[in-house]
Amino acid sequence: MTQVDRTIIEQCLDDGAQGVEQMIGDVKGLTALFRDHDTGAGNYGLVRLAHNLKALIVLVQTLREPVASMQPPLQAPLPSEADVETLGSWLESLVAAQAGQDWLTVADVLEYDLEPTLRAWMEQLQVLRRQCAA
């Protein structure tokens, strides 16, 4: 792997971490919207969030092979397949609560399930980026 390849991977990890940080802010805003019963803006925001989460999953899946092939190996892992499945389960919970117009559950899933999961992903991406840069 060339230094250019490492630099590109480092940039992808940095962009991913920054994107997750933005999504955490979006989740906080959506939580407030649903707790305040502003379902129109909240539902619109959920569509954007779902799109961004899909892009995050694609990024993580795309980085698996390049990160695994780095020498010396990076010590921190990318979010695992199980982490991806957990994220998917939170999305399914959001869809079910949204379909049932259970806005309190939507807010709870965002705040207590999705936000901590995103924080963990952001930390993983940041650690990997620092290791890649070292």
Percent of the chain as helix, strand, coil, to the nearest 5: 85, 0, 15
Report, in angstroms and rounded to the nearest whole number, the Rg of the chain calculated over CA atoms: 16
Q: What residues make up the domain containing 64?
A: 3-133
Q: How many CB atoms lie within 10 A of CB 54?
A: 11
Q: Please state the pTM of the whole predicted model.
A: 0.92
For the chain, what is the domain count?
1
pLDDT on residue 3: 82
Instruction: Tell me whether residue 104 is exposed, middle or buried, using C-beta atoms within 10 angstroms of its C-beta: 0 to 12, 13 to 18, 19 or more.
Output: exposed
| Residue-wise pLDDT tens digits, 1-28 | 788 888 999 999 999 999 999 999 999 9
pLDDT on residue 133: 86
**Token output for 27:** 């989740």
pLDDT on residue 11: 96
pLDDT on residue 4: 80
- The backbone torsions φ and ψ at residue 37, rounded to the nearest 5 degrees and listed phi first, read 65, 30
Q: What is the pLDDT tens value at each position of the chain, 134 positions in all? A: 788 888 999 999 999 999 999 999 999 999 999 999 999 999 999 999 999 999 999 999 999 999 998 888 888 889 999 999 999 999 999 999 999 999 999 999 999 999 999 999 999 999 999 998 88
| DSSP annotation of 36 | T
- CATH at residue 120: 1.20.120
